[in-house]
Amino acid sequence: MRSVDAPVANGITVAVVGATGAAGQTTLKILEERKFPVRELRAFASERSVGKSVTFKGDEIPIRRVEAGAFKGVDIAFCSAGSAQAKEYAPLIRKDGAVIVDKSNAFRMDPKVPLVVPEINPGAARRHDGILSCPNCTTIVTVMPLKPLHDAGRLTRVVATSFQAVSGAGVNGIAELREQTLAWAKGEAVAPRHFAHQIAFNLLPQIDAFQPDGYTGEEKKLVDELRKILELPELRVAPTTVRVPVFTCHSIAVNAETERKVTVAEARQVFERFPGLKLWDEPAQQRYPMPIAVEGQDDCFVGRIREDLSHDRALNFWVVGDQLRKGAATNAVQIAELLLPS
Ligand code: A2P
């Protein structure tokens, strides 16, 4: 295993690329919250942000531009500046010797790059060659309950419909929902800029570009990434991904078929025992996971667990996760924790 060599007692040097963005800002927060052993933090963003700064542990950290030599001495670089940037910058970051934990889609399906959810496949992190990928936010929230269900009854088919928050589209998505909501309340015209259509008081059944088969890029990611993480290359997955006017947290309605029947009682048990997953399933008390209740937490929350009325070996459930935290920054920092010398 290639791990980070620096003695952790003194801390390590960490870079955050995309530090001004929604996921980058959350990464700074999580590094602080989890007391990640940071000796030095370097923050990177686009040319536009050079001259600005971000806050880490109360210190103002100046934004740097990504350039040759800027990562010398960096042990781990968290990248959340988008796929094109990840592809462009990875060789330069690697040349300076840093291990990359990338949040984008750039390397996820590369067979040499581990796609890691630490509660599920921590061992994969040992097989890296300098780059580790963090799955798509919707994949992470969906796979958290699927893994214990698979261990209990072997998954054969998954139907997943997502309800995805605007912060999944970054700071522009957050600004657009806020601006459109305010404009609507004032009776002003609502004009889309970042999303293809109005997002306030609307649902957009398109995230990412359409593929020739009619599925979107986001739906394709869910299929491919679930198969890779669960090591089930033949798993049948039917995805629909939808952008909703919610600021934070992705929710997914899942129908999961298994080879062996898993009862509702058994599912509740295996969900409850799985690290990083919490059960909120008390219909009589109207208690179930919702974005506003889950926001700010690292666990994913599962509820509405029911037998499928149309199939005797399938369950329906509802899972919600803060996609900026477990769906992005927390998962990335957990991956980095696996790289620290023990
Ligand atoms: P900037 O704020 O300078 O545009 P989000 O996902 O919330 O939209 O954030 C994207 C992040 O990626 C931001 O920090 C953004 O910086 C950064 N970014 C965008 N383009 C580049 C680039 N070409 N080089 C480095 N960082 C970039």
Can you give the pLDDT at residue 244?
Answer: 98
Q: Compute, in angstroms, the gap from residue 125 CA to the centroid of ligand 1.
A: 26
Q: Are 313 and 332 in contact (CB under 8 A)?
A: no
* Rounded-to-integer distance, Cα 80 and Cα 102, Å: 6
Q: 79, 128, 134, 137: which one is catalytic?
A: 137
Given phi > 0 = left and psi -120 to 50 = alpha, else beta, which region is 208? left
* pLDDT > 90: percent of the chain: 96
Residue nearest to atom 9 of ligand 1 (CA): 21
For ligand 1, pick from 28, 46, 49 the residue to mutate: most ligand atoms within 8 Å of CB.
Answer: 46
Can you give the pLDDT at residue 2?
Answer: 42
Residue 197 annotated as catalytic: no
- The secondary structure element, H or E, covering residue 33 is helix 22-33
pTM, 2 dp: 0.96
**Residue 61 backbone phi and psi in degrees, to 5:** -105, 120
Residue nearest to atom 8 of ligand 1 (CA): 170
Q: Report the pocket of ligand 1 as residue ranges, CB < 6 Å.
A: 18-24, 44-46, 48-49, 66, 81-82, 85, 170-172
Domains contained in the chain, CATH given = 2-106 (3.40.50.720), 139-323 (3.30.360.10)
Can you give the pLDDT at residue 8?
Answer: 75
* Pick from 284, 302, 130: nearest CA to 293: 302
Q: How many CA atoms lie within 13 A of 246 on its CB side?
A: 23
Report the atom number in ligand 1 closest to the C-alpha of 81: 12
Residue nearest to atom 23 of ligand 1 (CA): 46
Give SS3 for 199. coil
Q: Strand 236-243 vs strand 300-307: parallel, antiparallel, or unpaired?
A: unpaired
Identify the residue whose tokens are 């399906």: 109
* Arithmetic mean of pLDDT over the chain: 96
Q: 150, 249, 250, 300: which one is catalytic?
A: 250
For ligand 1, pick from 16, 17, 20 the residue to mutate: most ligand atoms within 8 Å of CB.
Answer: 20
- 306-327 pLDDT, tens digit per residue, is 999 999 999 999 999 999 999 9
Q: Is the pLDDT of residue 341 over 90?
A: no
Can you give the pLDDT at residue 3?
Answer: 52
Q: Strand 277-279 vs strand 250-258: parallel, antiparallel, or unpaired?
A: unpaired
Q: Is the pLDDT of residue 195 over 50?
A: yes
Residue nearest to atom 20 of ligand 1 (CA): 46
Q: What is the DSSP letter of 203?
A: -
Residue 137 annotated as catalytic: yes
Q: Are 8 and 39 in contact (CB under 8 A)?
A: no
Q: Are 90 and 113 in contact (CB under 8 A)?
A: no
Cβ atoms within 10 Å of 150's Cβ, excluding its own? 23
* Rounded-to-integer distance, Cα 118 and Cα 129, Å: 17
Report the atom number in ligand 1 closest to the C-alpha of 82: 12
The mean per-residue pLDDT over the stretch 3-24 comes to 86
- 67-82 pLDDT, tens digit per residue, is 999 999 999 999 999 9
Report the atom number in ligand 1 closest to the C-alpha of 52: 3
Sign of CA dihedral 200, 205, 207, 210: negative
